[in-house]
Amino acid sequence: MRNPQLNGDGKLQHLLTIEGLPREILVHILDTAASFIGVTEREVKKVPLLRGKSVFNLFFEPSTRTRTTFEIAAKRLSADVINLNITVSSSTKGETLLDTVDNLCAMHADMFVVRHSSSGAAHLIASHVAPHVHVINAGDGRHAHPTQGLLDIYTIRHYKKDFTGLSVAIVGDVLHSRVARSLIHGLTTLGAPDVRVIGPRTLLPTGVEQLGVSVHHDMREGLAGCDVVVMLRLQNERMKGPLLPSAQEFFKSYGLTPQKLVLAKPDAIVMHPGPMNRGVEIDSSVADGPHSVILPQVTFGIAVRMAVMSILAGN
Amino acid sequence: MRNPQLNGDGKLQHLLTIEGLPREILVHILDTAASFIGVTEREVKKVPLLRGKSVFNLFFEPSTRTRTTFEIAAKRLSADVINLNITVSSSTKGETLLDTVDNLCAMHADMFVVRHSSSGAAHLIASHVAPHVHVINAGDGRHAHPTQGLLDIYTIRHYKKDFTGLSVAIVGDVLHSRVARSLIHGLTTLGAPDVRVIGPRTLLPTGVEQLGVSVHHDMREGLAGCDVVVMLRLQNERMKGPLLPSAQEFFKSYGLTPQKLVLAKPDAIVMHPGPMNRGVEIDSSVADGPHSVILPQVTFGIAVRMAVMSILAGN
Amino acid sequence: MRNPQLNGDGKLQHLLTIEGLPREILVHILDTAASFIGVTEREVKKVPLLRGKSVFNLFFEPSTRTRTTFEIAAKRLSADVINLNITVSSSTKGETLLDTVDNLCAMHADMFVVRHSSSGAAHLIASHVAPHVHVINAGDGRHAHPTQGLLDIYTIRHYKKDFTGLSVAIVGDVLHSRVARSLIHGLTTLGAPDVRVIGPRTLLPTGVEQLGVSVHHDMREGLAGCDVVVMLRLQNERMKGPLLPSAQEFFKSYGLTPQKLVLAKPDAIVMHPGPMNRGVEIDSSVADGPHSVILPQVTFGIAVRMAVMSILAGN
């Protein structure tokens, strides 16, 4: 089966998931992102690469933070951005998802940034649109969130230079995390030899070992000697649900504190996709401490999204 | 009485309704729209005709689809677009409609795109604004939706070239449709000799014949030999209301199926203003079939709105 | 203590409150605003002063009107504008205010326009952001609304030229009004010798005399011979609350009618920050009458906001 993300020439047509993305395309995105870091730091933060293009933020699930990062990235590329919050829109008028997409294509959309609560929604849209239209998955159900995975990889490469010999620990609610899934695929593709997932049995997917990771239920054991600690967000609805005794219990076992962090390498970096629950996943002294690269992640995220958009648009 | 849409020189000052719009102005809008089709298909889909102008989308009734088409049209003309959803805004703070409009005029608005649930709202605003401000009616109650009527006419002209000798059937809930009303006025002005409305007695306005159309309650009879079939949207609230037995019953009598469509001319086109209720007004095989021009309507809709905006702005 | 609004060179770094703002900075803002009046009246209402800058409208409390004025001002300066309505956003996901701000700074925001229901929110943000980021307070609790105060002062200077010898009456719900507070500080700084507040005891703050104003409970007495009448908005929730018998009673005592206005100077101007409650604070014949400068206030408000933004950005 042909990779639905690539066109006939093997070039990136859509960004749907990091799973199955060739190594050279991953590296090309990271390298392009690096070239945009300079743009976001200069006085006039704009390049005309997407001038006259229409980018639609198609959010079937609200997410101000993710929508904002794509909106900023598109505007810095000089695109016209149209925000569509579809929950309050025509989907309530009985129109199907694909009819909505067909309509926007007929308005000569160039790119869709899609956020949807159902896994596979972005794939469905990508399989349906006209050949000149590009789709970026901005999170679909529990499945994938590839630009988050890419910015995580970018961050690791920025601080650690090389994935050879790297130990990466991913901690928390792996079960519900599209962020974890995307990151694991990226690390595997780039050759990170030691990826560990850490969490209670109830929050780790069964068979997660098949993704090429080792599994730990004891956080101290899992963190030992690692170079990178990626804390996952614990969603509010889990904190009082049947999978967890309480947020306090979770913090005691799996919250990142200075006491636990000393078990990692002395130059370990700490990451979090945000928004953080301070005192649940992570102690404030770690979040704001010298190991934290949580805010640089956000900065790199803009550059990564600019890179993806400009590569898709053929620049 | 002076036509409130025209200025002293007989030029278009506001677009409020197709009713009473001179034939030459209708044709000028269609011709201008044709010139914009090229713009929307090229690499950089922007022209600077409205650069530095402030266009306000003033939506007192939510409509993502219509708002989006105007937003795209305005941005492709390089205008600054401000979206105002007034239901959640200052109208709830006790301010009158005209005070809101006065305030926006004082901010040097150039153009208002107005959607309101009350018939006549756009007229009221147009009669109130300063001479340099232009108002476009984007749907007022059951009254008018002129840009939709214009894009319908544009679509018919595109496929049928000429209105002489044309038979047009408009099917469904004519009673509540501002789309039907706008289209009928346009067709009459452009000389279409045979316009038919088809629907159950409860969904046709009394005295609709006075608009110069023939009335049919039997869909097969009404479709016979027609060149154009315009299906209207059936709003959800009607489907279970006192005017209709059920959506299923409606589809049986007035839904457009391949079996009914064969009664029209072999080269008949099928139109729908969207959003479609598949299986209620129209069968999917027809909506997606070779006679359907529903998506081209959307494309032409952008060009028509660009045309109206650029004509109003004096370009 | 250093003034948190000024940088080390005594230049404006943030605009948080008019209180304590040096006279020369106030005058510089007013003079700069005057230079922008021309821009908003010409054909292409844009200047490139903020091109490539990212301005975030950070509204923790909804206010379409205020958000719109800042959005227009920023777009006329060619900035990229991102609207964030935080009530429905990540603050509900457990993220702290300062984490949200840190994230937006990491996206290379240049300017925040902040509206918040808590007094001091804009100060807190300003004390936290990176040195190149500027914060404008667009209303915080009952505390301050400096751009409204500045546009009020601009309006008074426009019509009265000079503050020496001026009598200004501020009428209504002074207790809950950040507008009143900002205006009083501005008038005091610019040397207006006679500022009066007029209202029922329940709607005047205790100790208001310490701001350098005289207090009147009888409106006729308070209006006598004044040059400027500033009517304040009465919020709906006050009208039936314990502080007031009823909106009708309030209008009888403190609503501005032609009969009361004759007690002011013959060339007195009447102002109101909007949105107006006609028949509560002000009679329609006065709001729309020859003394009213309520709509010019709105026009000047855009120029004042452009001035503040361009001064903060260093232009």
Q: What are the DSSP E strand ranges found in chain A? A: 54-59, 80-85, 111-116, 134-140, 167-171, 194-198, 214-216, 228-231, 269-271
Confidence of residue C135 (pLDDT cuts 50, 70, 90): very high
Domains B23-144+299-312 and B146-293 share a fold: yes
pLDDT of amino acid C239? 74
Q: What is the pLDDT of residue C243?
A: 80
Beta strands C80-85 and B228-231 are unpaired
Per-residue pLDDT, B93: 64
Q: Write down the CATH superfamily of domain B23-144+299-312.
A: Aspartate/ornithine carbamoyltransferase (3.40.50.1370)
CB-count exposure of residue A145 (10 Å: 0-12, 13-18, 19+): buried
Element (H, E) at A287: helix A284-287
Give tens-digit pLDDT for B237-252: 777 778 888 889 999 9
State whether residue C76 is helix, strand or coil.
Answer: helix
Report CA torsion sign: A62, A64, A66, A71: positive
Please enumerate in sequence order all residues whose Cβ is within 8 A of that of C34, keeping only pairs 6 or more positions apart, or say none: C154, C303
Residues of chain C contacting A76 with CB distance shorter than 8 Å: 52, 54, 80
Residues 6+ apart with CB under 8 A from A250: A200, A234, A239, A244, A280, A281
End-to-end CA distance of chain C: 27
Cα atoms found within 13 Å of the Cα of residue C24, Cβ hemisphere only: 4
Reading the block at residue A54, the tokens are 């229409």
Instruction: Say if CB C234 and CB C243 are below 8 A apart.
Output: no
For B108, the closest chain C residue by CA position comes to C40
Chain centroid to Cα B40, Å, comes to 20
Architecture of the CATH domain A23-145+299-312: 3-Layer(aba) Sandwich (3.40)
CA distance C219 to C223: 6
Chains B and C form CB pairs within 8 A to the count of 73
**pLDDT score at A2:** 66
Q: Which residues of B touch C (CB under 8 A)?
A: 51-54, 80, 82, 84-86, 88-90, 93-96, 99-100, 102-108
**Percentage of residues in chain C with pLDDT exceeding 70?**
97
Domain boundaries, chain C: 23-145+299-312, 147-293
Q: Please state which of the four CATH numbers 2.40.128.130, 1.20.1250.20, 2.30.30.40, 3.40.50.1370 is assigned to the domain occupying C147-293.
A: 3.40.50.1370
User: How many CB atoms are closer than 10 A to CB B104?
Assistant: 24
Indicate yes or no: CB of C89 within 8 angstroms of CB of A65. Answer: yes
Question: What is the homologous superfamily of the domain B146-293 according to CATH?
Answer: Aspartate/ornithine carbamoyltransferase (3.40.50.1370)
Q: List chain B residues with pLDDT less than 70.
A: 1-2, 88-94, 315
Range with lowest mean pLDDT among A39-53, C131-145, C287-301: A39-53
Q: Indicate the Cα dihedral angle C171, C177, C183, C189, nearest 10°.
A: 110
Closest by CA to C25, choosing from C9, C12, C35, is: C12
**What band does C41 get if pLDDT is binned at 50, 70 and 90?**
confident
Nearest residue to A297 via CA among A265, A274, A264, A268:
A274
Q: Which regions of chain A are under pLDDT 70?
A: 1-2, 88-94, 315
As beta bridge partners, residue B85 has B59
pTM of the model: 0.93
**Percent of chain C beyond pLDDT 90?**
82
Give B65 to chain A, closest Cα distance, Å.
7
pLDDT digit string, tens, across residues B82-119: 998 887 544 456 678 899 999 999 999 999 999 998 99
State the sign of the Cα–Cα–Cα–Cα dihedral B304, B305, B310, B311: positive
CA C302, C306, C309, C312 dihedral sign is: negative
Of B52, B93, B104, the CB nearest to C46: B52
What radius of gyration, in Å, describes the C-alpha atoms of chain B?
A: 19
Contacts of A90 in chain B (CB under 8 A): 64-65, 275
Chain C residue with CA closest to A294: the answer is C103
Note whether C236 contacts B94, CB cutoff 8 Å. yes
Q: Which of A136, A117, A138 is nearest to A126 (CA)?
A: A136
Interchain proximity B107–C275, CB inside 8 Å: no
Give me the residue from C64, C69, C277 closest to B89, CB to CB: C64
Torsion of Cα atoms, B154 then B156 then B160 then B166, to 10°: -130
* Cβ-Cβ contacts under 8 Å, B85 against chain C: 64
Q: How many residues are present in chain B?
A: 315
Chain C nearest C-alpha distance from B270 (Å): 40
CB contact under 8 A, A89 and B43: no
Beta-carbon separation of C90 and A236 below 8 A: no
Q: What is the dihedral of CA B188, B190, B193, B194, to 10 degrees?
A: -60
Taking alpha carbons only, the member of A287, A175, A178 closest to residue A241 is A175
C211-249 pLDDT per residue, tens: 999 999 999 999 999 999 999 999 877 777 788 888 899
Q: Which of C82, C112, C133 to mutate to test the interface with A (most CBs of A within 10 A)?
A: C82
Q: Report d(CA A207, CA A225) in Å as an integer.
A: 25
The pLDDT assigned to C229 comes to 98
Q: Using CA atoms, how far apart are residues B120 and B139, in angstroms rounded to an integer?
A: 10
Q: What is the pLDDT of residue B174?
A: 95
Residue type, C133: V
Residues in B closer than 8 angstroms to C301, CB to CB, are 107
